[in-house]
């Protein structure tokens, strides 16, 4: 059945779709044996390469995307179950049967290598319609909710990055529409190298390119040069708002970059077109009030707040910390919607498929 027709025929209330996605972001999803059998020929169901993408990505009716973990310890509390109905996938959730428009595949280059024999996935990974490039191995910082800080830090050469991008851009399993330069943050002596890589990627591809990053220290010129070069936009992530939680979970990142955050975001909003700057904040690692205060602060700066709930994951310091409950996430979503209405911003990201691991829905950006 045509996916758009299936979505229209489903007639699933918006509240059911919202509650289902929020539940999956909180405690994941189960998979029935018949669904597993139907998925058996699709290859691996997930690659645990980053905490918030270590699940299967589903497209639900009305273009709702969700990355739902299924093999983590907290998924034993899952309320949703992927099943089959008449040969198609569906999700059983709180007495409702929700058709699945699509179970998104993993990219076709998982075992691929470049011309030097280097694994393509060392540099690039595709999620929904986005290619994510990682210019650095490891990270300048060591945050408790991320595993990048445990890796030996070093930069990747631009030629390796561009070749991996070319391979991913030609992938037929999961064709990309845009690019996100992300991964670990550069150390301050590597700001120039990071800029060179960003400019090289923008020049090498016709696809829109965004950068996800921490604020730079004493380097507002980076933003001017990125805008002039044609970078599409940036995600300048605050991650946590309260000082107490930031000191606990962000440690050196908070101490070195928070003082530069407001000015960096404010300048980005000035030099990029409206709607191109967002900032990720993580519900579940500080009180709901503190996160909502952060949402209000981000909105006041003119950027789109993006709520990406904390997810326990393998290899991070908080691997056994419980995820935030679905009820709490639903309440924070509603309050955040009220907050952004008072400013000329929306809940990010504005790209609908990229909403898969965030508390955002298509109707939040339309």
Rounded-to-integer distance, Cα 258 and Cα 244, Å: 13
Q: What is the pLDDT of residue 10?
A: 55
Following DSSP, what letter does each residue of 53-110 receive, concatenated?
G-SEEEEEGGGEEEEE--SSGGGGG--EEEEEETTEEEEEETTEEEE-SEEPPPPTTT
Rounded-to-integer distance, Cα 323 and Cα 54, Å: 14
Q: Are 120 and 174 in contact (CB under 8 A)?
A: no
Task: State whether 205 and 313 are in the same domain.
Answer: yes
Evaluate whether residue 115 is within a structural domain. no
Evaluate whether residue 306 is within a structural domain. yes
Position 152 confidence tier, pLDDT thresholds 50, 70, 90: confident
Q: What is the pLDDT of residues 322-342, one digit of tens each?
A: 999 999 999 999 999 999 999
Query: Residue 167, SS3?
Result: helix
Task: State whether 64 and 127 are in the same domain.
Answer: no
Q: What is the pLDDT of residue 315?
A: 87
Position 3 confidence tier, pLDDT thresholds 50, 70, 90: very low
Q: What is the pLDDT of residues 191-250, one digit of tens each?
A: 999 999 999 999 999 999 999 999 999 999 999 999 999 999 999 999 999 999 999 999
Task: State whether 92 and 151 are in the same domain.
Answer: no
Q: In this predicted model, which residue has the larger pLDDT, 158 or 140?
A: 158
Number of domain units in the chain: 2
The last residue of one of the domains, among 103, 134, 160, is 103
Q: What is the mean pLDDT of residues 299-310?
A: 98
Task: State whether 46 and 144 are in the same domain.
Answer: no
The last residue of one of the domains, among 103, 134, 157, is 103
Rounded-to-integer distance, Cα 275 and Cα 363, Å: 15
Evaluate whether residue 351 is within a structural domain. yes
The last residue of one of the domains, among 76, 103, 130, is 103
Q: What is the mean pLDDT of residues 157-164?
A: 97
> Tokens 């990142």 — which residue?
253
**Percentage of residues in the chain having pLDDT higher than 70:** 97
Task: State whether 177 and 210 are in the same domain.
Answer: yes
Evaluate whether residue 233 is within a structural domain. yes
Q: What is the pLDDT of residues 27-55, one digit of tens each?
A: 999 999 999 999 988 788 998 888 889 99
């Amino acid at each position: 059945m045509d996916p758009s027709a299936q979505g229209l025929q489903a007639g699933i209330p918006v509240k059911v779709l919202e509650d289902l996605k929020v539940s999956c972001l909180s405690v994941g999803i189960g998979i029935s044996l018949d669904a597993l059998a139907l998925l058996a020929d699709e290859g691996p169901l997930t690659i645990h390469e980053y905490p918030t993408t270590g699940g299967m990505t589903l497209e639900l009716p009305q273009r709702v995307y969700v990355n739902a973990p299924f093999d983590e310890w907290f998924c034993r509390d899952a309320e949703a179950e992927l099943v089959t109905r008449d040969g198609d996938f569906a999700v059983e959730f709180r007495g409702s049967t929700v058709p699945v428009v699509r179970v998104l595949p993993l990219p076709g280059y998982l075992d691929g290598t470049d011309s030097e024999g280097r694994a393509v996935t060392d540099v690039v990974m595709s999620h929904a319609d986005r290619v994510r490039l990682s210019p650095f191995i490891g990270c300048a910082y060591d945050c408790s909710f991320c595993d990048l800080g445990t890796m030996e830090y070093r930069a990747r050469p631009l030629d390796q990055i561009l070749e991996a991008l070319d391979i991913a851009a030609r992938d037929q399993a999961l064709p990309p529409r845009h690019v996100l330069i992300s991964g670990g943050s550069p150390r301050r002596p590597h700001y120039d190298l990071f800029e060179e890589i960003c400019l090289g990627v923008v020049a090498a591809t016709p696809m829109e390119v965004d950068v996800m990053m921490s604020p730079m220290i004493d380097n507002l010129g980076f933003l001017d040069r990125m805008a002039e070069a044609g970078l599409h936009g940036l995600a300048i992530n605050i991650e946590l708002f309260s000082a107490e939680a930031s000191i606990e979970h962000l440690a050196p990142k908070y101490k070195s970059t928070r003082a530069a955050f407001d000015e960096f975001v404010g300048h980005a909003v000035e030099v990029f077109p409206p709607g191109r700057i967002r900032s990720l904040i993580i519900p579940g690692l500080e009180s709901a009030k503190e996160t909502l205060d952060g949402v209000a602060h981000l909105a006041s700066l003119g950027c789109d707040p993006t709520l990406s709930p904390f997810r326990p994951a393998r290899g991070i310091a908080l691997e056994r910390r419980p995820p935030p409950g679905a009820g709490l996430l639903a309440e924070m979503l509603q309050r955040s919607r009220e907050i952004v209405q008072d400013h000329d911003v929306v809940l990010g990201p504005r790209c609908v498929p990229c909403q898969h691991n965030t508390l955002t829905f298509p109707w939040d950006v339309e």
